[in-house]
Amino acid sequence: MRLERVTELVTPLVHDQGLEIYDIEQSGATLRIRVTGPDGVPMGVIERVTRAVSFALDEADLGSGSYILEVSSPGLERPLNRPDHFAGAVGEKITLKTLPGPEGRIRFRGVLRSADEDSVRVDDPDRGEVSVPYDQIDSARTVFEWGPKPKPGGGSRRKGSSRKAAR
């Protein structure tokens, strides 16, 4: 299945639902289409996009045999695969893994400070600010941080409950 042709077919269908394509990838027999919207992506819209895309791909008969279609949002920890993905994540915390080199694979975790056409700059607390060229990046994603950790010993108790045994 040619991803360029899939993109041509899918883009107007996604736009009709007020969404943008974040990424399209094929891994084995799985075709993944990630979409974004200004206020997130409601499940009902994902369902409509999935039906429309499935129908359009079947009608186009791309000759790829059977495949599994996955339509979703990129998620809270979204993959960063292209320069525009990195540019959209400037100021966010990310993790980044480099391709193997003389030092092996290097992992960075920190705030993405900048992204231009050639490289990204990450402020890693352990290594300082580092520049990594795109052609050296194996994988990268944003990092979602949950709220503060609960205080020790502050387990959940229902209002009005007591630890004292009834007498």
pLDDT tens-digit series, residues 73-124: 998 899 999 999 999 999 999 999 999 988 888 999 999 999 999 999 999 9
Domain boundaries for CATH 3.30.300.70 within the chain: 3-72
CA distances from 99 to 62, 102, 105, 106, 134 (A): 33, 10, 6, 8, 10
Output the six-digit token pair for 150: 């609960």
Contact of 32 with 24, CB cutoff 8 Å: yes
Higher pLDDT: 166 or 93? It is 93
**Cβ proximity of 108 and 132 under 8 Å:** yes
Homologous superfamily (CATH) for 83-142: Ribosome maturation factor RimP, C-terminal domain (2.30.30.180)
* pLDDT the model gives residue 157: 52
Element (DSSP H or E) covering residue 47: helix 43-60
Q: What is the mean pLDDT of the chain?
A: 88
Architecture category of domain 3-72 in CATH: 2-Layer Sandwich (3.30)
Kindly report, residue by residue over 46-74, the tens digit of the pLDDT.
999 999 999 999 888 776 678 899 999 99
Distance CA 4, CA 47 (A): 23
What is the structure's pLDDT at 148?
Answer: 79
Q: Say whether pLDDT at 19 is over 90.
A: yes
Choice between 61 and 14, residue whose per-residue pLDDT is larger: 14
**What was the pLDDT predicted at 166?**
46
- As annotated, the residues of the chain forming the CATH 2.30.30.180 domain(s) are 83-142
CB-CB contact of 124 with 108 (8 Å): yes
